[in-house]
Amino acid sequence: MVIPVNVRPFDDGGNATANGPSSRELFTVNSPNVTYTDSEIRSKYTYRTTSVNQTADGKYVATPRETVYDFKVDRKVPKVGAMLVGWGGNNGSTVTAGIIANRRGLTWETREGQRSANYYGSVMMGSTMKLGTDAKTLKDVNIPFHDVLPMVHPNDLVIGGWDMSSLNLAASMDRAAVLEPTLKALVRKEMAEMVPLPSIYYPDFIAANQKDRADNLISGSKACTEHVERIRMDICDFKAANSLDKVIVQWTANTERYAEIIPGVNDTAENLLKAIADGHEEISPSTVFAVACILEGAPFINGSPQNTFVPGAIQLSEQHGTFIGGDDFKSGQTKMKSALVDFLISAGIKPTSIASYNHLGNNDGKNLSSQKQFRSKEISKSNVVDDMVEANSVLYAPGEHPDHIVVIKYMPAVGDSKRALDEYYAEIFMGGHQTISIFNVCEDSLLASPLIIDLVLVTEMMTRIQWKASSAEGKEDFKSFHSVLSILSYMLKAPVTPAGIPVINALAKQRSCLTNIFRACVGLDPESDMTLEHRLADLPRSPG
């Protein structure tokens, strides 16, 4: 049985609690297009895009387009549970300890001085968004991202989950060797009471060197309907035991090998369900978890690089309207790559080769020392620059792409403190070259844990947002966003998108998407960053 983190509603005099909408929202929008009720925020939003057609002579015709949408946001903040697959791993134990420490406002001593609990590294909890311009001073007004919409606070999350290891969370935390001993001592009592639920284990999908951990298993070594139903029951029991309104599930477990896409097996929802019932050997544990969550109506996020969302799983999510998102937490080296390559190409500089090497000593590194599992990670890391290259036809001819190699080595001595070395080799003006080398030491789980929190908070928020085209007033009901949550792309290396929709990896575009969808929900236009108030002579100026 999972014994959850003891939950207390968070209330700092203004933020939302698990009991309903915020008692004091940080801002309201003064607009005829926005209305507030006790239960909802309703907004009418004009979405402006540009449609482009190419003429016979190769020229382009750009036509501005406008579509008016109605958005509806449920203001009641629910009581939410986060269930992690691989709860006893480095990420699961670290994020659980971090939430306990933040909830209790803990401080602890280190050799570098006193440290205090925080949510640094979380976009929702640690970053701000420009609300607008101060009417008097013309200076930007920035607010915490978490306060744009009535969101769940991570201190209020109930944490539980599954693991193939029977260690309690305190012992898992010690095994991970991520946190300071002084902090571990402060949270040990609560962590020791948390024991993961048994998980499923299909040996062919993870490295053989993980077998010694597998002592907390649901019987059976291949996919079956019984596994799906057991996971669904676990979610139901967890939800009932903790009086939860919603449960979000995340895969934080080992990287699996890629599953082969086989017609008649995992290519459609119907075939996938039949393949699970028949015990087909090409159905992975993560796909079984995804199917169970979809059928149960619990959003499922894949934080590892394998192809959990085979075509049949995506189709099943669309049929049931259950949110899914993935793949692979974007925490350190890849996040740097998606920002730097975007910068170089936007500056008119042409990267011609990218060499990425890293070594790490945690269990993720141990699992990735197996070639099949490494291949999954190699794919998720390698595709991260594709959309940026494709966007610049001045620098790159059709089909041209930088040489790109990814190397990962397991080095036990460095533990969770991953060493990443990247070299970017680029062509510059008049046949010259530029080489940029970056050596990045990143504590893997301390970067990934805030992403786990963000993914839960944003996914939950999306379950309370609905939309419809204003032209359909009275003709159709509000509906949810597409079941594939591409809005999560900022936190993920290899974003999954709906069929036919281009993948965006450029970090600035991903952040802009997240920001502007939140703004649209309260009837605010995107921030253009034109700052005309500072550039045109006849506009009022800031005093002094």
Catalytic annotation present for 328: yes
**C-alpha distances in Å from residue 345, one per residue of 330, 351, 391, 398:** 21, 7, 9, 15
Catalytic annotation present for 72: no
Q: What is the Cα 100 distance to its own chain's centre?
A: 21
Catalytic residue among 79, 239, 350, 493: 493
Structural contact between residues 106 and 117, judged by C-beta atoms closer than 8 angstroms: yes
Catalytic residue among 79, 330, 377, 381: 377
Q: What is the DSSP track for 99-146?
A: HHHHHHT-EEEETTEEEE---TT-HHHH-EEEEEE-TTT--EEEEEGG
Residue 404 CA to residue 374 CA, distance in Å, equals: 16
Q: Which tokens is 225 given? A: 């309907």
Give 261's DSSP letter: -
**C-alpha distances in Å from residue 432, one per residue of 112, 307, 337, 344:** 44, 40, 22, 15
Lay out the sheet containing 40-54: strands in order across. 34-36, 40-54, 60-74, 465-469
Q: Which tokens is 481 given? A: 């966003």
Catalytic residue among 418, 422, 444, 454: 418
Catalytic annotation present for 377: yes
The SS3 of residue 191 is: helix
Residue 57 CA to residue 404 CA, distance in Å, equals: 36
DSSP-H helix ranges across 258-332 = 269-278, 285-296, 311-320
Nearest Cα to Cα of residue 252 among 224, 218, 205, 286: 286
Residue 62 CA to residue 48 CA, distance in Å, equals: 13
Catalytic annotation present for 475: no
Catalytic residue among 328, 364, 444, 454: 328
Please give the torsion angle defined by the CA atoms of residues 232, 235, 236 and 242, in that order, rounded to the nearest 10 degrees. 170
Structural contact between residues 85 and 250, judged by C-beta atoms closer than 8 angstroms: yes
Nearest Cα to Cα of residue 217 among 286, 163, 291, 167: 163
Q: What is the DSSP track for 225-237?
A: HHHHHHHHHHHHH
Structural contact between residues 403 and 430, judged by C-beta atoms closer than 8 angstroms: no
Q: Which tokens is 242 given? A: 């903790």
Mode of pairing for the β-strands spanning 60-74 and 40-54: antiparallel
Phi and psi at residue 331, to the nearest 5°: -110, -50
Task: State the catalytic residues.
Answer: 328, 377, 418, 493
